[in-house]
């Protein structure tokens, strides 16, 4: 095999060396599911079977697989310059991508710090929030507020503000000075909602409880996913995010939107911040930024946040933020990002997602009465089918459904006892129908 050929075979025939992330390694290695190709809406398995991608890779391949413009841009960049340092140096791609990204963001979210993943974006955002208050002489504001059932990546900061128990339980107390709002999901009040549920805006007032408990002068920031995706597609109640923004304004607390999943068209707008007409102080992104072609993330901040660092540093030769990564604004990632933004614009994919959302909603809710289903919820091109857990084995039914869907040619995600669907934004009506037909077939067969 030459270096230039893609890897489609296991030359060593050894699955043991790779410790796979968020995977039942023993189960997988006993019955491996290996993908060797991808184009458009489909993966190709090692056995040559086409697999309909119902989860956009991992919430990230928003423009579909193998987009020629992105591939060519990465190839052209690596032939010219493979790497450029980002500390005290720069290259045109980093500045151009930041400027173009800023035009997609609402309000004055006009400065972008580049990372390599959603996890790094979250930890960067949390550090910026704490450092911002210190730069303003308000150093007592160090407390961070997350939310139950939130997912903010796997860094120590992200796990600390996150609220998914399985992600936290193995790692001890994590960061000090962290508290959590209640989550917004209440099946008794909002099961089978289409779009934003009507009940639950008052849950934002939980932040007032935090203020009373800890004192606002100690709280640096609140971080939430506008739509909590990895925990099972928890759609924000009507008025909830608006009220959260209002409370943060009242008490001088920074609001961070984790848009690693909701960004780049997933909800039918450039970002959830645009969809809900709410401007956070800090916004994280990743995944769809490069269509997952090259790992990359970003943190956008409002003008007053950036300006506080510039003013506090004083001397123009002083470093304003002692933070960064070897691969920040990597040339290949920037090339992929610039080409990806062009694809989104040329194909009108954000508007297309909004146009397809009603079709997607109807197809998802066709399963409302399906066997084992206790809730269906949706927003944009995202849906969750929550299953009644088996009495003796919680999460087992959804995992079995995930495996059976794959066998029938459909890739989904399962989280707890919920199946998550979030396809590339290029999905057709026929493919939407096929996604939910396969899920329905599996649920009918499932014990």
Q: What does the DSSP assignment read for 258-303?
A: E-TTTTTTTTSSSSHHHHTT---SEEEE-GGGTTTSS--EEEEEEH
340: three-class secondary structure by DSSP: helix
Structural domain contains residue 81? yes
Q: Which of 318, 347, 376 is the last residue of a domain?
A: 347
Structural domain contains residue 212? yes
Structural domain contains residue 20? no
Closest to 334 in 3D by CA, of 104, 98, 63? 98
Quick one: tokens of 120? Answer: 């790094």
DSSP-assigned letters across all residues of 206-238: HHHHHHHHH-GGGEEEEEE-SSB-TTT-BPPPT
Structural domain contains residue 8? no
Domain co-membership, 77 together with 153 = yes
Domain co-membership, 57 together with 178 = no
Quick one: tokens of 300? Answer: 């956008």
Domain co-membership, 193 together with 288 = yes
Report the pLDDT value the prediction gives residue 4, as an integer from 0 to 100: 56
- Beta-strand pair 143-147/178-181: parallel
Report the pLDDT value the prediction gives residue 2, as an integer from 0 to 100: 45
Domain co-membership, 220 together with 116 = yes
Report the pLDDT value the prediction gives residue 14, as an integer from 0 to 100: 87
Closest to 147 in 3D by CA, of 238, 230, 251? 230
Structural domain contains residue 52? yes
Helices (H), 112-216: 118-135, 156-161, 165-168, 187-190, 206-214
How far is Cα 334 from Cα 398, in angstroms, rounded to an integer? 37
| CATH code for the domain in which residue 385 is found | 3.90.1150.10
Residue identified by tokens 């720069």 is 90
Domain co-membership, 415 together with 396 = yes
Q: Which sign, positive or negative, has the C-alpha torsion 106, 108, 109, 111?
A: positive
Domain co-membership, 79 together with 47 = no
Report the pLDDT value the prediction gives residue 181, as an integer from 0 to 100: 98
* 408 neighbors 335 (Cβ within 8 angstroms): no
Q: What is the DSSP letter of 368?
A: T
Q: What is the largest CA-CA distance in the chain?
A: 69
Domain co-membership, 216 together with 201 = yes
Domain co-membership, 100 together with 210 = yes
Domain co-membership, 38 together with 149 = no
Domain co-membership, 181 together with 283 = yes
| Euclidean distance between the first and the last CA atom of the chain, given in angstroms as a whole number | 45
Task: Count Cβ neighbours within 10 Å for each residue of 175-195 and write b for 16 or more, e otherwise.
Answer: eeebbbbbbbbeeeebebbee
Report the pLDDT value the prediction gives residue 1, as an integer from 0 to 100: 38
For residue 359, give its domain range: 25-62+348-445
| CATH code for the domain in which residue 274 is found | 3.40.640.10
Structural domain contains residue 1? no
Q: Which of 294, 314, 347 is the last residue of a domain?
A: 347
Structural domain contains residue 96? yes
Domain co-membership, 342 together with 360 = no
Tell me the Cα Rg of the chain: 22
- Exposed / middle / buried, residue 62 (Cβ in 10 Å: 0-12, 13-18, 19+): buried
Structural domain contains residue 396? yes
Q: Domain count for the chain, please give it.
A: 2
Q: What angle do CA 173, 178, 182 make, to 5 degrees?
A: 105
Tell me the residue length of the chain.
Answer: 447
Q: Which of 313, 347, 381 is the last residue of a domain?
A: 347
Q: What is the DSSP letter of 195?
A: S
Could you read off the pLDDT tens digit of each residue along the chain, which spans 447 residues?
344 567 667 766 689 999 999 999 999 999 999 999 999 999 999 999 999 999 999 999 999 999 999 999 999 999 999 999 999 999 999 999 999 999 999 999 999 999 999 999 999 999 999 999 999 999 999 999 999 999 999 999 999 999 999 999 999 989 999 999 999 999 999 999 999 999 999 999 999 999 999 999 999 999 999 999 999 999 999 999 999 999 999 999 999 999 999 999 999 999 999 999 999 999 999 999 999 999 999 999 999 999 999 999 989 999 999 999 999 999 999 999 999 999 999 999 999 999 999 999 999 999 999 999 999 999 999 999 999 999 989 999 999 999 999 999 999 999 999 999 999 999 999 999 999 999 999 999 999
Domain co-membership, 173 together with 234 = yes
How far is Cα 342 from Cα 336, in angstroms, rounded to an integer? 10
């Amino acid at each position: 095999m030459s270096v230039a050929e893609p890897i489609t075979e296991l030359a060593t025939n050894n699955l043991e060396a790779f410790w796979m992330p968020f995977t039942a390694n023993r189960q997988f290695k006993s019955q491996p599911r290996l993908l060797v190709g991808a184009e458009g809406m489909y993966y190709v398995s090692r056995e040559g079977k086409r697999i309909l991608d119902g989860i956009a890779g991992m919430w990230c391949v928003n423009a579909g697989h193998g987009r020629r413009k992105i591939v060519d841009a990465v190839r052209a960049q690596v032939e010219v310059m493979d790497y450029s340092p980002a500390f005290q140096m720069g290259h045109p791609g980093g500045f151009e991508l930041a400027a173009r990204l800023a035009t997609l963001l609402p309000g004055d979210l006009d400065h972008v710090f580049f990372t390599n993943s959603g996890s790094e974006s979250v930890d960067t955002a949390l550090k910026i929030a704490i450092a911002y208050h210190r730069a303003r002489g308000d150093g007592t504001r160090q407390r961070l507020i997350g939310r139950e059932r939130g997912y903010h990546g796997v860094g120590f900061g992200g796990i600390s503000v996150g609220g998914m128990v399985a992600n936290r339980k193995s790692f001890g107390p994590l960061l000090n000075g962290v508290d959590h709002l209640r989550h917004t999901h209440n099946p008794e009040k909002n099961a089978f909602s289409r779009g934003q549920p009507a009940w639950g805006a008052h849950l934002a007032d939980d932040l007032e409880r935090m203020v009373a408990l800890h004192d606002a002068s100690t709280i640096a920031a609140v971080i939430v996913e506008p739509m909590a995706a990895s925990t099972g597609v928890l759609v924000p109640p009507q008025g909830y995010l608006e009220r959260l923004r209002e409370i943060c304004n009242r008490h001088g607390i920074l609001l961070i939107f984790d848009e690693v999943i909701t960004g780049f068209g997933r909800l039918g707008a450039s970002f959830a911040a645009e969809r809900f007409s709410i401007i956070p102080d800090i916004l994280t992104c990743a995944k769809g930024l490069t269509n997952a072609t090259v790992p990359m993330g970003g943190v956008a901040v409002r003008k007053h946040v950036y300006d506080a660092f510039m003013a506090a540093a004083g001397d123009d030769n002083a470093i304003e933020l002692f933070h960064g990564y070897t691969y920040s604004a990597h040339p290949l990632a920037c090339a992929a990002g610039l080409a990806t933004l062009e694809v989104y614009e040329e194909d009108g994919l954000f508007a297309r997602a909004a146009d397809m959302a009603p079709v997607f909603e109807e197809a998802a809710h066709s399963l409302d009465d399906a066997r084992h289903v206790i809730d269906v919820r949706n927003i944009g091109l995202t849906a969750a089918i929550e299953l009644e857990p088996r009495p003796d084995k919680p999460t087992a039914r959804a995992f079995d459904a995930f495996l059976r869907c794959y066998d029938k040619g459909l890739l989904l995600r399962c989280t707890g006892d919920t199946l998550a669907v979030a396809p590339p934004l290029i999905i057709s009506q026929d493919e939407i129908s096929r996604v939910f037909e396969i899920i329905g077939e599996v649920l009918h067969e499932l014990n």
